[in-house]
């Protein structure tokens, strides 16, 4: 499925309001920051993503996370899907992720979801990310019908939708 125009160039750095945090495509080399972020928030993340994605498993190892990040990096380079990591200014902490994927369910041309680490839930940073993502998608991505899973539609309602042809 060709879900993006051939000439689309994905953003490589996006600043959150205030400029102290930014998004950039995740890389395999980010595993040392990603693994503690994910596993430190694993129980909450499982309640969100577990039923749909089976992620993050309680048994996920550092090596499995590294392999997952390598897969994400390759998918980004091939424009198959995108995982943007949320970092502090110096990239000493990974604080969450934004996923931009081709549609798995009918009624959208892109599916977007995001999270922050437990310690940022309810924070100014989370509110800035919540405000940024829909604006960024509208401004910089070629979607006519983006779907914000877990925001404008619950994960359970999303899972109940018919699958998109070709998935």
The predicted pLDDT at position 45 comes to 97
Rounded to an integer, the average pLDDT of 116-143 is 97
Instruction: Confirm if 112 and 149 have CB atoms less than 8 A apart.
Output: yes
Domains in the chain, number: 1
Q: Is residue 167 part of a domain?
A: no
The predicted pLDDT at position 2 comes to 78
The predicted pLDDT at position 90 comes to 96
The predicted pLDDT at position 18 comes to 81
Return the SS3 of 110: strand
Tell me, what DSSP letter sits at residue 124? H
The predicted pLDDT at position 167 comes to 65
Rounded to an integer, the average pLDDT of 48-75 is 97
Please give the residue range of the domain that contains residue 95: 14-160
The predicted pLDDT at position 26 comes to 98
Rounded to an integer, the average pLDDT of 127-137 is 97
Rounded to an integer, the average pLDDT of 4-26 is 94
Q: Is residue 92 part of a domain?
A: yes
Return the SS3 of 36: helix
Q: Is residue 34 part of a domain?
A: yes
Q: Is residue 84 part of a domain?
A: yes
Distance CA 44, CA 26 (A): 21
Q: Is residue 124 part of a domain?
A: yes
When the pLDDT of each residue in the chain is averaged and rounded to a whole number, the result is: 95
Q: Is residue 3 part of a domain?
A: no
What percentage of the chain exceeds 70 in pLDDT?
A: 99
Q: For position 143, which CATH number holds?
A: 3.40.630.30
């Amino acid at each position: 499925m060709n879900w993006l125009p051939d000439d689309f160039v994905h953003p490589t750095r996006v600043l959150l309001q205030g400029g102290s945090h930014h998004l950039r495509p995740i890389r395999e080399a980010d595993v040392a920051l990603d693994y503690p972020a994910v596993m430190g928030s694993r129980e909450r993340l499982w309640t969100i993503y577990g039923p749909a994605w089976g992620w993050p498993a309680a048994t996920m190892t550092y090596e499995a996370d590294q392999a997952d990040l390598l897969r994400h990096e390759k998918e980004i380079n091939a424009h198959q899907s995108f995982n943007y990591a949320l970092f502090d200014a110096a990239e000493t902490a990974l604080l969450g992720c934004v996923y931009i994927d081709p549609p798995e369910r009918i009624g959208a041309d892109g599916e977007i979801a995001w999270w922050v680490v437990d310690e940022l839930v309810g924070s100014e940073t989370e509110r800035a990310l919540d405000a940024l993502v829909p604006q960024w998608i509208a401004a910089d991505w070629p979607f006519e019908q983006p779907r914000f899973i877990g925001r404008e539609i619950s994960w359970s309602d999303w899972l109940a939708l018919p699958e998109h042809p070709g998935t």
